[in-house]
Amino acid sequence: MRAFQLVEWQQPPELREAPVPEPGAGQVLVKVAGAGACHSDLHIMQAPAPGDDTRLPFTLGHENAGWVETLGPGATGFAPGDPVIVYGPWGCGLCANCREGRENYCQETAGLGGGLAGHDGGMAEYLLVPASRFLIPLGSLDPRGAAPLSDAGLTSYHAVKRSLHLLGPGSTAVVIGAGGLGQMAIQILRALSAATTVVAVDTDAGKLETAKRMGADEALLSGEQAVTRIKDMTRGQGAQLVLDMVGVDPTLRMAAQMARVLGHLTIVGLGGGALPVDFSSPPHECSVASPYWGFIPELIEVITLAQQQKIKMLVEHFPLERAGAAYQLLHDGKIQGRAVITP
Protein backbone atom coordinates (compact mmCIF):
# COMPACT_ATOMS: atom_id res chain seq x y z
CA MET A 1 0.00 0.00 0.00
CA ARG A 2 1.03 3.64 -0.29
CA ALA A 3 1.96 5.45 2.92
CA PHE A 4 3.04 9.06 3.58
CA GLN A 5 6.06 8.71 5.83
CA LEU A 6 8.48 10.85 7.77
CA VAL A 7 11.84 9.47 6.62
CA GLU A 8 14.28 12.08 7.94
CA TRP A 9 13.95 14.88 10.48
CA GLN A 10 13.57 18.35 8.94
CA GLN A 11 12.99 16.84 5.48
CA PRO A 12 9.67 16.75 3.61
CA PRO A 13 7.84 13.43 4.29
CA GLU A 14 7.64 11.01 1.34
CA LEU A 15 5.00 8.81 -0.29
CA ARG A 16 6.42 5.25 -0.12
CA GLU A 17 5.37 1.62 -0.49
CA ALA A 18 4.66 -0.20 2.79
CA PRO A 19 3.19 -3.66 3.52
CA VAL A 20 -0.51 -3.86 4.44
CA PRO A 21 -0.41 -4.76 8.17
CA GLU A 22 -1.90 -8.06 9.37
CA PRO A 23 -4.08 -7.66 12.48
CA GLY A 24 -2.80 -9.83 15.33
CA ALA A 25 -4.72 -10.95 18.42
CA GLY A 26 -7.20 -8.28 19.54
CA GLN A 27 -6.12 -5.84 16.80
CA VAL A 28 -8.25 -4.27 14.08
CA LEU A 29 -7.28 -3.29 10.55
CA VAL A 30 -9.06 -0.09 9.44
CA LYS A 31 -9.41 1.02 5.83
CA VAL A 32 -8.61 4.72 6.09
CA ALA A 33 -11.27 7.14 4.81
CA GLY A 34 -9.57 10.32 5.99
CA ALA A 35 -6.53 11.41 8.00
CA GLY A 36 -6.34 15.00 9.21
CA ALA A 37 -3.21 17.12 8.80
CA CYS A 38 -2.67 18.61 12.27
CA HIS A 39 -0.33 21.53 12.94
CA SER A 40 1.44 19.29 15.49
CA ASP A 41 2.82 17.27 12.55
CA LEU A 42 4.70 20.39 11.41
CA HIS A 43 6.30 20.54 14.87
CA ILE A 44 6.94 16.76 14.87
CA MET A 45 8.74 16.87 11.50
CA GLN A 46 11.32 19.24 12.96
CA ALA A 47 13.00 17.05 15.57
CA PRO A 48 12.23 14.38 18.18
CA ALA A 49 11.09 15.76 21.54
CA PRO A 50 13.78 15.55 24.25
CA GLY A 51 14.06 11.96 25.48
CA ASP A 52 12.02 10.67 22.52
CA ASP A 53 13.81 7.80 20.74
CA THR A 54 11.41 7.70 17.79
CA ARG A 55 12.50 5.39 14.99
CA LEU A 56 12.17 6.61 11.42
CA PRO A 57 10.51 6.09 9.02
CA PHE A 58 6.94 6.00 10.25
CA THR A 59 3.61 6.88 8.64
CA LEU A 60 2.13 10.24 9.66
CA GLY A 61 -1.53 10.88 10.51
CA HIS A 62 -2.77 10.81 14.13
CA GLU A 63 -6.33 12.02 13.37
CA ASN A 64 -8.10 9.15 11.63
CA ALA A 65 -11.44 7.69 10.58
CA GLY A 66 -12.42 4.88 8.22
CA TRP A 67 -14.16 1.53 7.94
CA VAL A 68 -13.34 -1.69 9.78
CA GLU A 69 -11.57 -3.96 7.26
CA THR A 70 -10.64 -7.08 9.28
CA LEU A 71 -10.67 -8.09 12.94
CA GLY A 72 -7.70 -9.98 14.36
CA PRO A 73 -8.29 -13.15 16.39
CA GLY A 74 -10.37 -12.35 19.49
CA ALA A 75 -11.15 -8.72 18.52
CA THR A 76 -14.85 -8.03 19.06
CA GLY A 77 -17.46 -5.30 18.98
CA PHE A 78 -17.29 -4.41 15.29
CA ALA A 79 -17.97 -5.94 11.89
CA PRO A 80 -16.21 -5.37 8.56
CA GLY A 81 -17.56 -2.22 6.87
CA ASP A 82 -18.51 -0.42 10.12
CA PRO A 83 -17.66 3.32 9.93
CA VAL A 84 -15.41 4.23 12.86
CA ILE A 85 -13.32 7.05 14.27
CA VAL A 86 -10.00 6.19 15.92
CA TYR A 87 -9.18 7.41 19.43
CA GLY A 88 -5.57 8.47 18.91
CA PRO A 89 -3.71 8.26 22.26
CA TRP A 90 -3.08 4.56 22.59
CA GLY A 91 -2.59 3.66 26.25
CA CYS A 92 -1.85 0.35 27.94
CA GLY A 93 -5.46 -0.04 29.12
CA LEU A 94 -4.34 -1.18 32.56
CA CYS A 95 -2.72 1.70 34.45
CA ALA A 96 -4.82 3.89 36.78
CA ASN A 97 -5.37 6.61 34.17
CA CYS A 98 -6.25 4.18 31.37
CA ARG A 99 -8.82 2.46 33.56
CA GLU A 100 -10.64 5.82 33.78
CA GLY A 101 -10.63 6.25 29.99
CA ARG A 102 -7.77 8.78 30.27
CA GLU A 103 -5.47 6.91 27.93
CA ASN A 104 -3.97 10.24 26.79
CA TYR A 105 -2.26 10.22 30.19
CA CYS A 106 -1.26 6.53 30.15
CA GLN A 107 1.53 5.96 32.63
CA GLU A 108 3.17 3.41 30.30
CA THR A 109 2.86 4.88 26.76
CA ALA A 110 2.37 8.61 27.52
CA GLY A 111 -0.59 8.40 25.14
CA LEU A 112 1.45 8.30 21.95
CA GLY A 113 -0.55 6.47 19.27
CA GLY A 114 -0.42 5.92 15.51
CA GLY A 115 1.19 8.78 13.58
CA LEU A 116 3.29 9.75 16.63
CA ALA A 117 6.65 8.69 18.09
CA GLY A 118 7.42 6.05 15.47
CA HIS A 119 3.99 4.33 15.41
CA ASP A 120 2.48 4.11 11.91
CA GLY A 121 -0.51 6.42 11.45
CA GLY A 122 -3.39 6.87 9.04
CA MET A 123 -1.88 8.62 6.02
CA ALA A 124 -1.95 5.30 4.18
CA GLU A 125 -4.55 2.99 2.72
CA TYR A 126 -4.79 0.96 5.95
CA LEU A 127 -4.18 1.64 9.65
CA LEU A 128 -3.52 -1.07 12.23
CA VAL A 129 -5.31 -0.22 15.50
CA PRO A 130 -4.00 -2.17 18.53
CA ALA A 131 -7.38 -2.73 20.25
CA SER A 132 -11.06 -2.33 19.39
CA ARG A 133 -11.59 -0.08 22.46
CA PHE A 134 -9.85 2.69 20.42
CA LEU A 135 -12.67 2.59 17.85
CA ILE A 136 -15.88 4.59 18.28
CA PRO A 137 -18.81 3.95 15.90
CA LEU A 138 -19.56 6.94 13.66
CA GLY A 139 -23.18 6.04 12.99
CA SER A 140 -24.57 8.42 10.38
CA LEU A 141 -21.35 10.49 10.05
CA ASP A 142 -19.26 10.11 6.87
CA PRO A 143 -15.77 8.89 7.88
CA ARG A 144 -14.27 10.89 4.99
CA GLY A 145 -15.02 14.13 6.85
CA ALA A 146 -15.07 12.96 10.48
CA ALA A 147 -11.36 12.41 11.14
CA PRO A 148 -10.70 15.92 12.58
CA LEU A 149 -13.19 15.22 15.37
CA SER A 150 -10.65 12.81 16.88
CA ASP A 151 -8.00 15.47 17.56
CA ALA A 152 -9.08 19.03 16.63
CA GLY A 153 -12.51 18.14 18.06
CA LEU A 154 -11.51 16.07 21.08
CA THR A 155 -8.58 18.27 22.20
CA SER A 156 -10.76 21.39 22.04
CA TYR A 157 -13.67 19.64 23.75
CA HIS A 158 -11.48 18.51 26.63
CA ALA A 159 -9.95 21.97 27.01
CA VAL A 160 -13.42 23.58 27.18
CA LYS A 161 -15.07 20.95 29.36
CA ARG A 162 -12.47 21.12 32.14
CA SER A 163 -13.32 24.84 32.54
CA LEU A 164 -17.08 24.66 32.06
CA HIS A 165 -17.75 25.40 35.77
CA LEU A 166 -16.33 28.91 35.17
CA LEU A 167 -18.57 29.66 32.20
CA GLY A 168 -21.85 30.85 33.70
CA PRO A 169 -24.18 33.52 32.28
CA GLY A 170 -22.29 36.71 31.47
CA SER A 171 -18.95 34.91 31.23
CA THR A 172 -16.35 35.45 28.51
CA ALA A 173 -14.12 32.88 26.79
CA VAL A 174 -11.27 33.82 24.44
CA VAL A 175 -9.88 31.51 21.77
CA ILE A 176 -6.45 32.60 20.51
CA GLY A 177 -5.72 30.96 17.12
CA ALA A 178 -8.84 30.22 15.07
CA GLY A 179 -7.41 27.41 12.93
CA GLY A 180 -8.41 23.74 13.00
CA LEU A 181 -8.54 23.48 16.80
CA GLY A 182 -9.75 27.03 17.44
CA GLN A 183 -12.75 26.71 15.10
CA MET A 184 -13.77 23.53 16.91
CA ALA A 185 -13.34 25.25 20.32
CA ILE A 186 -15.59 28.14 19.24
CA GLN A 187 -18.38 25.77 18.18
CA ILE A 188 -17.99 23.64 21.31
CA LEU A 189 -18.19 26.73 23.55
CA ARG A 190 -21.37 27.72 21.67
CA ALA A 191 -22.83 24.23 22.09
CA LEU A 192 -21.94 23.69 25.77
CA SER A 193 -22.31 27.21 27.14
CA ALA A 194 -24.80 29.30 25.17
CA ALA A 195 -24.63 32.16 27.68
CA THR A 196 -20.86 32.70 27.29
CA THR A 197 -19.52 35.48 25.07
CA VAL A 198 -17.00 33.82 22.75
CA VAL A 199 -14.16 35.94 21.35
CA ALA A 200 -11.78 34.71 18.63
CA VAL A 201 -8.30 36.22 18.24
CA ASP A 202 -6.08 35.56 15.22
CA THR A 203 -3.50 37.28 13.02
CA ASP A 204 -5.35 36.32 9.83
CA ALA A 205 -8.45 38.25 8.70
CA GLY A 206 -9.80 35.23 6.78
CA LYS A 207 -9.64 33.06 9.91
CA LEU A 208 -11.49 35.77 11.85
CA GLU A 209 -14.27 35.75 9.24
CA THR A 210 -14.50 31.96 9.55
CA ALA A 211 -14.52 32.24 13.35
CA LYS A 212 -17.57 34.51 13.18
CA ARG A 213 -19.38 32.08 10.87
CA MET A 214 -18.60 29.33 13.40
CA GLY A 215 -20.34 31.33 16.14
CA ALA A 216 -17.77 33.71 17.68
CA ASP A 217 -19.50 36.84 19.04
CA GLU A 218 -16.41 38.94 18.32
CA ALA A 219 -13.30 38.39 16.23
CA LEU A 220 -10.20 40.45 17.02
CA LEU A 221 -6.81 40.87 15.43
CA SER A 222 -4.04 39.61 17.70
CA GLY A 223 -2.22 42.31 19.73
CA GLU A 224 -2.54 45.05 22.37
CA GLN A 225 -5.85 46.30 20.97
CA ALA A 226 -7.37 42.84 21.50
CA VAL A 227 -6.32 42.94 25.18
CA THR A 228 -7.91 46.39 25.56
CA ARG A 229 -11.13 45.18 23.95
CA ILE A 230 -11.39 42.13 26.24
CA LYS A 231 -10.81 44.37 29.28
CA ASP A 232 -13.53 46.77 28.05
CA MET A 233 -15.99 43.92 27.48
CA THR A 234 -15.44 42.52 30.98
CA ARG A 235 -15.47 45.77 33.03
CA GLY A 236 -11.73 45.50 33.48
CA GLN A 237 -11.83 41.96 34.91
CA GLY A 238 -10.67 39.85 31.96
CA ALA A 239 -12.02 36.55 30.63
CA GLN A 240 -12.91 33.49 32.73
CA LEU A 241 -11.22 31.23 30.16
CA VAL A 242 -8.42 31.97 27.69
CA LEU A 243 -7.49 29.12 25.37
CA ASP A 244 -4.14 29.65 23.65
CA MET A 245 -4.18 27.45 20.54
CA VAL A 246 -0.84 28.89 19.36
CA GLY A 247 1.52 28.91 22.36
CA VAL A 248 4.24 31.30 21.20
CA ASP A 249 5.70 34.03 23.47
CA PRO A 250 3.42 36.85 22.19
CA THR A 251 0.19 34.81 22.49
CA LEU A 252 1.10 33.55 25.97
CA ARG A 253 1.81 37.11 27.12
CA MET A 254 -1.47 38.25 25.58
CA ALA A 255 -3.33 35.35 27.22
CA ALA A 256 -2.00 36.32 30.67
CA GLN A 257 -3.23 39.90 30.14
CA MET A 258 -6.68 38.71 28.99
CA ALA A 259 -7.35 36.23 31.81
CA ARG A 260 -9.00 37.20 35.10
CA VAL A 261 -8.36 36.50 38.76
CA LEU A 262 -9.51 32.89 39.52
CA GLY A 263 -9.74 32.21 35.78
CA HIS A 264 -8.17 29.54 33.58
CA LEU A 265 -5.34 30.09 31.11
CA THR A 266 -5.08 26.95 29.02
CA ILE A 267 -2.11 26.31 26.76
CA VAL A 268 -3.05 23.98 23.91
CA GLY A 269 -0.67 25.20 21.17
CA LEU A 270 2.79 23.69 20.96
CA GLY A 271 4.38 26.89 19.66
CA GLY A 272 7.37 26.51 21.97
CA GLY A 273 6.88 29.79 23.84
CA ALA A 274 7.24 30.27 27.59
CA LEU A 275 4.82 32.00 29.96
CA PRO A 276 6.48 34.35 32.45
CA VAL A 277 5.02 33.73 35.91
CA ASP A 278 5.36 36.04 38.92
CA PHE A 279 3.18 37.11 41.84
CA SER A 280 0.79 39.23 39.79
CA SER A 281 0.88 37.64 36.34
CA PRO A 282 -1.01 35.53 35.35
CA PRO A 283 -3.67 37.14 37.62
CA HIS A 284 -4.03 35.87 41.22
CA GLU A 285 -5.25 32.26 41.42
CA CYS A 286 -5.60 32.02 37.64
CA SER A 287 -4.78 28.36 36.92
CA VAL A 288 -2.51 27.51 34.03
CA ALA A 289 -2.84 24.08 32.41
CA SER A 290 -1.45 22.42 29.31
CA PRO A 291 -3.87 19.62 28.42
CA TYR A 292 -2.85 16.94 25.95
CA TRP A 293 -5.67 15.53 23.77
CA GLY A 294 -8.73 14.16 25.66
CA PHE A 295 -10.47 11.15 27.25
CA ILE A 296 -12.25 8.25 25.47
CA PRO A 297 -15.72 9.09 26.92
CA GLU A 298 -15.25 12.67 25.71
CA LEU A 299 -14.68 11.45 22.14
CA ILE A 300 -18.07 9.73 22.33
CA GLU A 301 -19.59 13.08 23.42
CA VAL A 302 -17.83 14.87 20.52
CA ILE A 303 -19.28 12.36 18.05
CA THR A 304 -22.75 12.94 19.52
CA LEU A 305 -22.39 16.73 19.11
CA ALA A 306 -21.39 16.20 15.46
CA GLN A 307 -24.30 13.82 14.87
CA GLN A 308 -26.60 16.53 16.28
CA GLN A 309 -24.95 18.97 13.80
CA LYS A 310 -23.87 21.25 16.65
CA ILE A 311 -20.23 21.09 15.51
CA LYS A 312 -18.81 20.68 12.01
CA MET A 313 -15.27 20.95 10.75
CA LEU A 314 -14.57 22.91 7.59
CA VAL A 315 -12.73 20.21 5.61
CA GLU A 316 -10.60 20.40 2.46
CA HIS A 317 -9.82 16.99 0.96
CA PHE A 318 -6.45 16.08 -0.56
CA PRO A 319 -5.47 12.75 -2.18
CA LEU A 320 -2.48 10.92 -0.68
CA GLU A 321 -0.21 12.17 -3.52
CA ARG A 322 -0.95 15.74 -2.40
CA ALA A 323 -0.33 15.24 1.34
CA GLY A 324 2.96 17.15 1.05
CA ALA A 325 1.16 20.04 -0.63
CA ALA A 326 -1.48 20.03 2.12
CA TYR A 327 1.20 20.40 4.82
CA GLN A 328 2.86 23.20 2.84
CA LEU A 329 -0.49 25.05 2.68
CA LEU A 330 -0.99 24.45 6.43
CA HIS A 331 2.50 25.81 7.10
CA ASP A 332 1.71 28.90 5.02
CA GLY A 333 -1.61 29.50 6.85
CA LYS A 334 -3.60 28.78 3.65
CA ILE A 335 -5.88 26.03 5.01
CA GLN A 336 -9.16 27.66 6.09
CA GLY A 337 -10.27 24.76 8.35
CA ARG A 338 -8.66 21.30 8.29
CA ALA A 339 -6.87 19.49 5.46
CA VAL A 340 -7.93 15.83 5.36
CA ILE A 341 -5.92 13.32 3.36
CA THR A 342 -8.13 10.73 1.64
CA PRO A 343 -6.16 7.67 0.45
Binding site for ligand NAD (CB under 6 A): 38-40, 43, 151, 155, 176-182, 201-204, 207, 222, 245-248, 250-251, 268-271, 291-293, 330, 333
Asked whether position 121 contacts Zn ion by CB under 5 A, the answer is: no
**Site residues (CB under 5 A) for Zn ion, limited to 21-60:** 38, 40
CB of 188 to ligand NAD, least distance (A): 13
- Which residues face 85 on adjacent strands? 65, 136
Q: Kindly give the pairing relationship between strand 28-37 and strand 126-129.
A: antiparallel
Minimum separation from the CB atom of position 20 to ligand NAD (A) = 28
13 binds, among Zn ion, ligand NAD, none (CB under 5 to 8 A by kind): none
Distance between CA atoms of residues 328 and 318, nearest Å = 12
Separation between Cα atoms, residue 69 and residue 13, nearest integer Å: 26
Q: Does 252 engage in binding with Zn ion (CB under 5 A)?
A: no
Shortest reach from residue 153's CB to ligand NAD, in Å = 10
Site membership for Zn ion, residue 96 (CB under 5 A) = no
CA-wise closest residue to 64 among 31, 105, 41: 31
Q: Which is nearer to Zn ion, 41 or 82 (CB)?
A: 41
Catalogue the E-assigned strands of the chain: 2-6, 14-17, 28-37, 58-59, 64-71, 83-86, 126-129, 135-137, 172-176, 197-202, 218-221, 239-244, 259-267, 287-289, 315-319, 338-342
106 binds, among Zn ion, ligand NAD, none (CB under 5 to 8 A by kind): Zn ion
Find all residues with CB under 8 Å of 84, minimum gap 6, and list them. 30, 65, 66, 67, 68, 78, 135, 136, 137, 138, 143
Instruction: Please report whether residue 110 would count as binding Zn ion according to CB under 5 A.
Output: no
Residues in 138-197 at the binding interface with Zn ion, rule: CB under 5 A: 151
Segment near Zn ion (CB under 5 A); pick from 88-96, 113-121, 161-169, 183-191: 88-96
CA distance 175 to 153: 14
Q: Exposed, middle or buried: residue 81 (CB in 10 Å: 0-12, 13-18, 19+)?
A: exposed
Q: What is the rounded distance in angstroms from the CA atom of residue 295 to the CA atom of residue 112?
A: 13
Q: How far is 25 from 20, CA to CA, in rounded Å?
A: 16
Nearer to ligand NAD, 39 or 260 (CB): 39
Residue whose CB is less far from ligand NAD, 135 or 208: 208
The partner in contact with residue 250, picked from ligand NAD, Zn ion, none with C-beta cut-offs of 5 to 8 angstroms by kind, is ligand NAD
Pick what 41 binds: Zn ion, ligand NAD, none; C-beta below 5 to 8 Å, kind-dependent: none
Q: Considering CB distances under 5 to 8 angstroms, the limit depending on partner class, which of ligand NAD, Zn ion, none binds residue 219? A: none
Binder of residue 98, out of Zn ion, ligand NAD, none (CB less than 5 to 8 A by kind): Zn ion
The stretch among 102-110, 133-141, 166-174, 329-337 that binds Zn ion (CB under 5 A) is 102-110
Burial class (CB in 10 A: 0-12, 13-18, 19+), 196: buried
Write out the residues near Zn ion by the rule CB under 5 A.
38, 40, 91-92, 95, 98, 106, 108, 151
